[in-house]
Chains A and B, each alone.
Chain A
Amino acid sequence: MSLLEVKNLVAGYGQVQVLHGIDLSVNEGEVAVVLGANGAGKTTTLRALTGMIKTSGSIVFEGEELVGKKTDEIVRRRIAHVPQGRGTVAQFTVEENLEVGAFIRSDKAGVAADMQKMFEMFPRLAERRKQTAGSLSGGEQQMLAIARALMLDPRLLLLDEPSLGLAPLIIKGVFETLEQINKEFNTTMLVVEQNANLALSIAQSAFLLETGEIVASGPAEQIKNDDSIRKAYLGY
């Protein structure tokens, strides 16, 4: 059985419906990507998963229904969400951001050990641990946002366009890090991206989202090599 099973998910903002009943599933330990253009509903999908907008349909996580639950209850089930842009508290220091990432955890020793792990994985953050997040470069902020999310010790990590606004070289570094996290900690991930090539390179399964509907899905390898899908939806 899959870790996350989404069926007929409908969500939107006020009167505007953005998602018109999408299905997707993520298996334990894998990286899944949702690809789509601007306005396809990628961000909305993630916001629906963590209960930040009004949602109907079904989201089953580890056998438990999440629709109707509040964001903090969903986070307590160890689903970490790195939102688009800056998923950090700009006025907090690097250390405080990591500390707040572990807000719901009460195992002090585990939190301290995880913080140490983050500093080993992101040496740049260790150098800047007393600096405020707002003073970091874009790439460092994205790394911090990911580290902040990992401090939850997540069962599932949701990432909203981790490549947004970063230089190509930095983007490559971010994806390499994600791949490393997946391999080392066996963290299950659902990544939403426009940068199809790079996202598919680290993913096992992929979903194509167009104007609020899933138009294709399958193993990442297959989506990558399907010429018609590539031309029609990915534009290369």
Chain B
Amino acid sequence: MTKFFQLVIAGIEMGSIYSMVALAIVIIYASTGLKNLAQGEMAMFSAFISWQLYTWGLGPWLALVLAVIISFILGMMLQQVVLRPVQDSSLLTVVIVTLGVFLGLSSLAGFIWDYLIKAPPALFPEEALVSFGSVRVGTPAVGVFVVLLALAAGLFAMFQFTKIGLAMRAVAFNKETAMLVGVRVNLVIMVGFGLAASLGAAGGIFAAPKVFLEPFMMLTILIYALASAAFGGLDSPLGAVIAGLIIGVVENLAGGYIGFIGSDLKIVVPLVIIIVTLIFRPQGLLGRKYIPRV
């Protein structure tokens, strides 16, 4: 049983990171209908910013907070400069543009910080926080999970109890009505991108000590995050959080118990989950089902 619990705990740790990036994807999808393929690279860029601030002498947590704030601004700028001009074009055009952002950001990161692997600072001490018999619960696992819960609770409170949250939900559900009650739709979409960039940044910065910091660090995490968003329901933030955790745990258990998967074929797990979701429950766990009224 020790192995089982150890795998579950490690799964929750990675799953929390998937959830953060999945939340970012869901927020942008809900407000614009766009699956932002560049979300992972944006997170990677944020992780580099955090690392840069750290090497300039800031503490790891201060660097994290500053990087998250900078990411918020960069995310808004990216939306205004790159995506807003094409937002009324066909979906294919917009997807190609996000692919362009994807490639551009990874090249830019390589250009600025080169491709050598960097070791970012650990945000949590490595030793176990508590032990149950032979099961060790590591501080990083608990720490990342708690941060995820805090972010999710903060998002929920913002959506439910603030004016900007009300505006964001109105834009996500019905742009025309949102416009007609005086919501500045473009401003709301811009803030949504900033928010998504910040959430992704948190995911990237927590992922960096685990996968090491380099321009391609988020490639697999993006696939897990997309799987989480699809599995949880592309328009459901709560679904993204739950699905991210489930996928983190399931991939770890599959890797640990199913012989031929091991650690090499783990990446197949999210892909299988995407396919099964799309076949049996296309709207995802908690997503809305679209039933057009005739």
Contact = CB atoms under 8 A, between A and B. Distances in A.
User: Do A and B bind?
Assistant: yes
Interface of A: 50, 52, 70-72, 75-76, 80-81, 83, 87-92, 96, 99-104, 148, 152
Nearest to A105: B182
Given A89-B174, A91-B288, A103 B179 contact: no
Interface string B178-220: 1111111100000000000000000000000000000000000
A76 B177 contact: no
Interface of B: 163, 166-167, 169-170, 173-174, 176-185, 288
A72 B173 contact: no
Contacts of A83: 176-177, 180
B180 A50 contact: yes
A102 to B, nearest CB: 8
Given A90-B173, A91-B288, A71 B166 contact: no
Contact of A89 (B163, B177, B182, B184): B177
B173 A101 contact: no
B170 A71 contact: no
Residue of B166, B167, B288 with most chain A CB atoms under a 10 A cut-off: B166
Given A81-B180, A152-B182, 7 more contacts: A70-B184, A90-B173, A96-B166, A100-B167, A100-B170, A100-B181, A103-B166
B179 A100 contact: no
B176 A76 contact: no
B211 to A, nearest CB: 37
A101 B169 CA distance: 13
B288 A72 contact: no
B184 A72 contact: yes
Contact of B173 (A89, A102, A103): A89
Contacts of A102: 181
Contact of A101 (B163, B176, B181, B185): B181
Contacts of B163: 103
A72 B181 CA distance: 7
Nearest to B181: A103
B181 A148 contact: yes
Contact of B182 (A96, A99, A103): A103
A92 B181 contact: no
Contact of B180 (A87, A90, A96, A99): A87
B92 to A, nearest CB: 20
Contacts of A90: 173-174
Contacts of A99: 166
A37 to B, nearest CB: 23
A89 B168 CA distance: 12
A89 B185 CA distance: 15
B184 A103 contact: no
B182 to A, nearest CB: 4
A100 B166 contact: yes
Given A83-B176, A87-B177, A92 B169 contact: yes
Given A91-B288, A92-B169, A103-B167, A72 B174 contact: no
Given A92-B170, A99-B166, A100-B166, A75 B182 contact: yes
A100 to B, nearest CB: 5
21 contacts: A50-B180, A71-B179, A71-B180, A71-B182, A72-B184, A75-B181, A75-B182, A76-B182, A81-B180, A89-B170, A89-B178, A90-B173, A91-B173, A91-B288, A92-B169, A92-B170, A100-B170, A100-B178, A102-B181, A103-B182, A104-B181
